Amino acid sequence: MYKNIDKQTKLNLKDLVDYAQGQVVSKTLVQNDYVSMTIFSFDKGEEISTHAAGGDAMVTVLEGKGRFTVGGEIFHLEAGETLIMPKDIPHAVYGEERFKMQLVVSY
């Protein structure tokens, strides 16, 4: 079920992806018909443009701060904060500064 991750090992999720200049970097940890889990890093000014997901998407910021636009409403999240982006509601993610997040989508 899990991939790209050491099992039976103490981990810090934010250390699983590095920053890359001018890029969004992602590492998928789980992907199946029921759930996906991905760790992302965003360089300052990088974004994932507006889209909708086929399931409820829960983001938790692991480091730094990010801006999340969900159904036209803007949320600023920092390390330790979580937001649920409901299924089929358009949303976007923007790095106002470098930040890392965990995304869990349940279908």
Residue 3 lies in a domain: no
pLDDT of res. 1: 82
What domain range is 30 assigned to?
19-106
Residue 13 lies in a domain: no
What pLDDT tens digit does each residue of the chain (107 aa) get? 899 999 999 999 999 999 999 999 999 999 999 999 999 999 999 999 999 999 999 999 999 999 999 999 999 999 999 999 999 999 999 999 999 999 999 99
Place of tokens 């910021």: 61
- In the chain, the number of structural domains is 1
CA atoms within 13 A on the CB side of 10: 0
| CATH code (residue 94) | 2.60.120.10
> Which secondary-structure segment (H or E) carries 105?
strand 99-106
Residue 69 lies in a domain: yes
The secondary structure of 22-68 as a DSSP string is: T-EEEEEEEESSSEEEEEEEE-TT-EEEEE--SSEEEEEEEEEEEEE
pLDDT of res. 53: 94
Residue 5 lies in a domain: no
